Structure 1
Amino acid sequence: MNSNKQKAIKTAYLSIFGNALLALIKGVTGVFGNSYALIADAIESTTDVFSSLLVLFGLKYATKPPDENHPYGHGRAEPLVTFAVVGFLVISATIIAYESIQHIRTPHQVPEKYTLIVLGAVVVLKELFYRVVSKKGKETKSTSLKADAWHHRSDAITSLMAFIGISIAIYMGKGYEAADDWAALLASGIIVYNAYLIFRPALGEIMDEHVYDDLVSQIRDIAITVDGVIDTEKCHVRKSGLSYHVDLHLIVNGGITVVQGHAIAHRLKNELILQLPEISDVLIHVEPGR
C-alpha cells in the first residue's frame, strides 16, 4: 500500500508541473496569436493546476493511517477531493462557455497560423498525460487520480476542438473568424460531460455502492484454500481511499470450539491481506456449518 501511495503522489506532482507549464504556453500563445479558443484552453489548464493540488492534498490525507478519531482511516477524503475536482471542471466549462458566447458576438481578428503548431503539440502531450495518469490511477485504484486523468483528456479534447476551429477560421477566411470561439463553446459541453463521468464513481464510493464483484470472487477463491474453511456466505466490500475494507461471513465445522473457529478466521484474514495487499482490514463473522 505504501508503494501505491508513493506512486500516486509522484503522479500528482507530474500533473501539477505539466498543467502549469502548458497553461503558461497556451495563455501566451493565445494572447499573441489572437485565439480565444487557446486562451480558454489556458484557463482550463490553470484550473487543472489547482485541481491537481487538491488531488495531491487528498492523496496525502487519505493515506494517513487510522487513529482514535478515524478507526477506518482517512480514505474517504479522496472521493471528497474528487467532488472538488469536478467542481473545478464545471466552473472552467462555465467560464469558457460564457466568454465564447461573448467573443462570438464581437468581431475579432483571425488567429495566427502558428497557434495550430502549439495546439497540435498540446493535444499530443495532454493525451500522453491522460494515458500515464490513467494507468497509475488504475494501478493504485485511486479515484482522484482517475479524475485527474480525465482532466488531462478533457484538456486534450478542448485543444483538439480549438485546433479544428482555428483551422476553419484561418483557411475558410472572411466570415469564419468566430470558428475557434464556437469550438471553445463545444469543448465546454464536452468538459461538463466528462465531469459527470468523474463524479459518478466517486459518488458510488461515498455511498458504498457494490461494484467489486471481481474482488469478491478473488476473496472467495482464497478463502476455500485455507485449512478449516468450508465455504463463505455474505461478502461485502467497500472502498476507502486506496484500500478496501471487507466484511465476510465464514462457514466452519459446527462441532469445533470457539478457539478453533477464531484461529481459522485469523488464518484467513492474514492470507487475504497477504495475497491482496489492497485490502487494509477484514472483519470475519464465523458461521457454524452442518
Structure 2
Amino acid sequence: MENHERFKKAEFAAIIGIVGNIVLAILKWGIGIYANSRALVADAVHSASDVAGSFAVYVGLKAAKQPPDDDHPYGHGKAELIAAIIVAVLLLLVGVEIGKSSIEAFFHPIEAPKTIAIVAVVVSIIVKEAMFRYKYQLGKQLNSEALIVNAYEHRSDVYSSIAALVGIGSAVIGGKLGIGWLEYADPVAGLFVALLVIHMAWKLGKESIHNTMDHVLHDEDTIELREIIESVPNVLRIDTLHAREHGHYVIIDLKISVDPHITVEEGHHIGKKVKERLLEESNVQNVFVHINPYHPDEV
C-alpha cells in the first residue's frame, strides 16, 4: 500500500474518532447531568478525553507522513508513537480525575439516577465497540501504532460504559425498591471505570514508550529479511542485522561479508543490490549496508 493511501485512510479514521467522541461526550454529559448519574458523567469525561486522543493521533499522522529531510534523515515515523504516548497520558489524567470524583460521592447524600441514563450507556457501548473494531483492524492493516492505541481507547470506553451500565442499573433498581445502599452502585461504577482507564493508560503508554526507544525487531521477526539478503548473489554471511522500528516502518542497519578479493566497486554493487531488494518490502523505509571482508574463522 502506498504511503499516500495509507495516511489518507488513517487520517479518515482519526477524524471519525474525533466526530464520534464529540457526539457521544455531549450526549452522555447532558443526559448524565439531567439523570443525576455520576457514572454516566464520568463516562462522558472519558469520551471527551478520547476527542483529545483522536486529535493527537490525527496531528501525529500528519507529521509522520512528511518525507525525510536534513534534520530528520530517518523520516518522521516516530511522530505516531509520540501521539500514542500523549493519548496514554491523557487517559491516565482522566482516570485519576474520574476516580477522585467517584470517591468524593461516598461522602455526600446520593440520589438514584433516572432510567434514561441506561439508554445513553447502551448507545455508547454499541457505537464505541464499532469504532474499536474499525480502528483496530485498520491499524493492523496499516501497521499504525497510533491507530491501534486509539482503538484500545475506544475499547476501554466500552468497558467503562459496561461498568457504568451495571452501576446505573443497580442504582435505578435501588431507588425504585427503596434500597438506599444500592443507590451507591452508581459512584462505585464510576470508581471502577477510573481503575479501568488507569490500567489501560499504563499498558498502552508502556508499550508506546518501549517502541519509541529505538526498539529493534526480534530475530523471529527478521527471518524474511534475512532470507532476502541471503538470496542476493555473492553475499557470504550476514554479520549483523538491526531493523529499528520508526512508527509504521523500519530502518535497517546491516553488515554483510563478501569475498575479500573482489574490487571495492564489486562490493559496492553487492551492497546496492541488497538495499534494492530490501526496499521492495512495504515496511522498509531505508537501508544502510556496511561491507566486510569475509573470513571463515570470524563470527
TM-score by length of 1: 0.94
Question: Once the 2 structures are TM-superposed, how far is the Cα of residue 288 of structure 1 from its aligned partner?
Answer: 2.3
- Give the corresponding residue for 1:12: 14
Q: Aligned AA for 1:236?
A: H
Question: Once the 2 structures are TM-superposed, how far is the Cα of residue 77 of structure 1 from its aligned partner?
Answer: 2.2
Tell me if structure 1 keeps the 8 A contact 2:241–2:255.
Answer: yes
Q: Aligned AA for 2:262?
A: I
- Give the corresponding residue for 1:246: 252
- Give the corresponding residue for 2:108: 106
Matches within 5 A, 1:112-123: 112-123=114-125
Q: Aligned AA for 1:147?
A: V
Matches within 5 A, 1:41-56: 41-56=43-58
- Give the corresponding residue for 2:275: 269
- Give the corresponding residue for 2:163: 161
1:278 is the counterpart of 2:283 = yes
For 1:132-186, what per-residue CA distance to the aligned partner results, in whole angstroms no more than 9, with x for missing partners? 1112222222222122111111111110100011111122442211201101101
* Distance in 2 of aligned mates of 1:289 and 1:257: 13
* Distance in 1 of aligned mates of 2:17 and 2:122: 19
Secondary structure of 1:177's counterpart equals helix
1:26 is the counterpart of 2:28 = yes
- Give the corresponding residue for 2:126: 124
The correspondence for 1:66, drawn from 65, 68, 71, is: 68
* Distance in 2 of aligned mates of 1:118 and 1:263: 65
Secondary structure of 1:232's counterpart equals strand
* Distance in 2 of aligned mates of 1:147 and 1:254: 48
Secondary structure of 2:231's counterpart equals coil
Question: Once the 2 structures are TM-superposed, how far is the Cα of residue 241 of structure 1 from its aligned partner?
Answer: 2.6
Which runs of 5 or more structure 2 residues have no equivalent in the other structure? none
Change (3 A) 1:99 1:205: same
Question: Once the 2 structures are TM-superposed, how far is the Cα of residue 104 of structure 1 from its aligned partner?
Answer: 2.3
Q: Aligned AA for 1:112?
A: K
Change (3 A) 1:7 1:212: farther
For 1:225-279, what per-residue CA distance to the aligned partner results, in whole angstroms no more than 9, with x for missing partners? 22222332211111113221011112222322211111111111111111x1111
Tell me if structure 2 keeps the 8 A contact 1:63–1:242.
Answer: no
For 1:89-131, what per-residue CA distance to the aligned partner results, in whole angstroms no more than 9, with x for missing partners? 0111111111111222222221122322221221122122112
Tell me if structure 2 keeps the 8 A contact 1:236–1:246.
Answer: yes
Which runs of 5 or more structure 1 residues have no equivalent in the other structure? none
Secondary structure of 2:239's counterpart equals strand
Tell me if structure 2 keeps the 8 A contact 1:40–1:184.
Answer: yes
Q: Aligned AA for 2:117?
A: T
- Give the corresponding residue for 2:240: 234
The correspondence for 2:208, drawn from 194, 202, 205, is: 202
Secondary structure of 1:178's counterpart equals helix
Secondary structure of 1:244's counterpart equals strand
* Distance in 2 of aligned mates of 1:164 and 1:35: 12
TM-score by length of 2: 0.91
Tell me if structure 2 keeps the 8 A contact 1:223–1:231.
Answer: no
158-167 or 201-210, larger mean C-alpha shift: 201-210
Secondary structure of 1:32's counterpart equals helix
Change (3 A) 1:223 1:211: closer
Secondary structure of 1:256's counterpart equals coil
Question: Once the 2 structures are TM-superposed, how far is the Cα of residue 212 of structure 1 from its aligned partner?
Answer: 4.0
Change (3 A) 1:213 1:127: farther
Q: Aligned AA for 2:101?
A: E
Secondary structure of 2:251's counterpart equals strand
Tell me if structure 1 keeps the 8 A contact 2:28–2:120.
Answer: yes
- Give the corresponding residue for 2:77: 75
- Give the corresponding residue for 2:196: 190
1:287 is the counterpart of 2:289 = no
Question: What's the Cα RMSD here?
Answer: 1.6
* Distance in 2 of aligned mates of 1:220 and 1:113: 61
For 1:14-71, what per-residue CA distance to the aligned partner results, in whole angstroms no more than 9, with x for missing partners? 1111111111111122112221111111111111111211111011112211111221
30-39 or 227-236, larger mean C-alpha shift: 227-236
